[in-house]
Homo-oligomer: A and B are copies of this chain.
Amino acid sequence: MKHILIIGAGLSSSTMISYLLERSYDYDWKIVVADVNKALAEQKIKKHANASAVEFDINSNLALTTLVAAADIVVSMLPARFHPLVAEECLKQRKHLFTASYVSPEMQALNDEAQEKGLLFMNECGVDPGIDHMSAMKVIDEIRAKGGKFISFESNTGGLVAPEFDNNPWNYKLTWNARNVILAGQSGARFLHNGNYKYIPYNRLFTRTDRLSVLDYGEFDVYANRDSLIYRKIYGIEDIATIFRGTFRRPGYCEAYNALIQIGLTDDSYELVNAADLTNRSFIASFLPEPEGKEIEDVFCEYLGINRESDVFKKIEWLGIFEESKIAKGMKTPAQILQSIIEPKWKLDKGDLDMIVMQHRFEYTLNSKKYRRLSSMIVIGKDNTNTAMSITVGMPVAIAIEEFLNGKFKVRGVQIPVIPELYEPILSKLAPLGVEFVEEEFEI
């Protein structure tokens, strides 16, 4: 019998827990789900005979020691900043660890000790990071094995609303953490294009978009992610001339969101003096020049050099940003206030399904010919619990646990799934679950 401890029963844990519970009879697994909110943990295990729910606060060290002691492997689905705490305990008690998050420097520092003790600390095993690594490395390893030489690699991912439920002017609904969407891109972006390093500041990021098609799902705009350069090393393609990672949105979203950025509404670095007295309308007026008798809608348009018939203006107006409704209590920074205005408008309604879109675009040469390879994945959510986001984040972790407990992974230490031993079995089991890539290749 193996004991699996899962810490954190949030949205991203749902599909993972279901997957593990379904297989728990076959494999003789016992699963403990620990969360600060015990009811949430209970809801996830649905009184399953092989599972138990416990109330657990990560700030209580004693409880962590006891929980880890009873486990064979530990899965941390907590916010990433807590992983090192869990990892230290796992080292102390010689337990394996799984997370879906980026390897922090603190986590990386534990590599040697984990290896010495024969422990696997598996990270970046969700969708982005996770499925992106696995699917990209599969193509990279395959093309390199044939003797291909990479010129360009662009990789884009987006969490969106499924086409059937895509019925608002932004063609966007919130399928994940709203705050991350509001603050996206604030550090600007850097990438490599045709051998030239490129830097985009935040105030230009949403204007420097590319338009791409993915399978028969129509067109998307892409804005650049923070730092694409580091992926040269991670994927072992250090001499590539173009490397770019971006985020998918539907056409028009970026141009309209840029208007909010330009005005200053996405700033989270200071609090408004008089937030409690504001309405949506006086909030936006605070960022505009004096109206001097004009309607502030017109001031807004003049300020941005757009007109009231434009799609940008229509999208902004639809958010209710010019309405005389009171700002929600407790909102203080411009970004908090903007989020409180946007969140109800971009809400994923009951019954709405979400969609994850991922596409890698490689260019490479082989035998003096040049090829483009597209590797595309679309996952549509199943219901309000098993969303596309929950499936693609949780399933790779769940499969990684399954395969590890089946003895498939020999590698130890702090790992991410960029080697065949790790990505092959996970991708193989993801495909029949509908998480799979369509490959297209053309000579160019």
Q: Residues on A close to B: CB < 8 A? A: 187-188, 190, 193-194, 196-201, 203-204, 208, 229, 262-264, 267, 269-270, 272-274, 282, 285-287, 289-290, 334
Contact = CB atoms under 8 A, between A and B. Distances in A.
Given A203-B203, A287-B200, A267 B188 contact: yes
Given A262-B204, A264-B188, A197 B229 contact: no
A231 to B, nearest CB: 14
Nearest to A287: B199
Contact of A199 (B187, B199, B264): B264
B194 A272 contact: no
A229 B197 CA distance: 41
Contact of A197 (B187, B198, B272): B272
Contact of A200 (B187, B201, B264, B273): B264
A286 B201 contact: no
A287 B202 CA distance: 12
A199 B229 contact: no
Given A190-B273, A204-B262, A262-B203, A198 B267 contact: no
B204 A274 contact: no
A197 to B, nearest CB: 5
Contacts of A270: 187-188, 190
Nearest to A203: B203
Given A188-B270, A197-B272, A199-B334, 16 more contacts: A188-B267, A190-B270, A196-B286, A196-B290, A197-B273, A197-B286, A199-B264, A199-B287, A200-B287, A201-B264, A201-B267, A203-B203, A203-B262, A204-B262, A204-B263, A229-B273
Nearest to A305: B305
Contacts of A197: 272-274, 286
Contacts of A198: 286-287
This chain's copy number in the assembly? 2
Contacts of A285: 196
Nearest to A303: B204
Contacts of A204: 262-264
Contacts of A193: 290
A269 to B, nearest CB: 8
Contacts of A290: 193-194, 196
A188 B272 CA distance: 13
Contacts of A269: 187
A244 B361 CA distance: 52
A272 B203 CA distance: 18
28 contacts: A187-B269, A187-B270, A188-B264, A188-B270, A190-B270, A190-B273, A193-B290, A196-B282, A196-B285, A196-B286, A197-B272, A197-B274, A198-B286, A199-B264, A199-B286, A199-B334, A201-B262, A201-B263, A201-B264, A201-B267, A201-B287, A203-B203, A203-B262, A204-B262, A204-B263, A204-B264, A208-B289, A229-B273
A106 to B, nearest CB: 21
A190 B273 CA distance: 9
The 7 closest A-B pairs by CB, nearest first: A201-B264, A203-B203, A197-B273, A199-B286, A197-B286, A197-B274, A199-B287
Contacts of A264: 188, 199-201, 203-204
A208 to B, nearest CB: 7
A171 to B, nearest CB: 25
A197 B334 CA distance: 13
A429 to B, nearest CB: 38
A189 to B, nearest CB: 10
A125 B262 CA distance: 37
Which of A203, A267, A269, A287 has the most C-beta atoms of chain B within 10 angstroms of its own C-beta?
Answer: A203
Contacts of A286: 196-199
Nearest to A273: B197
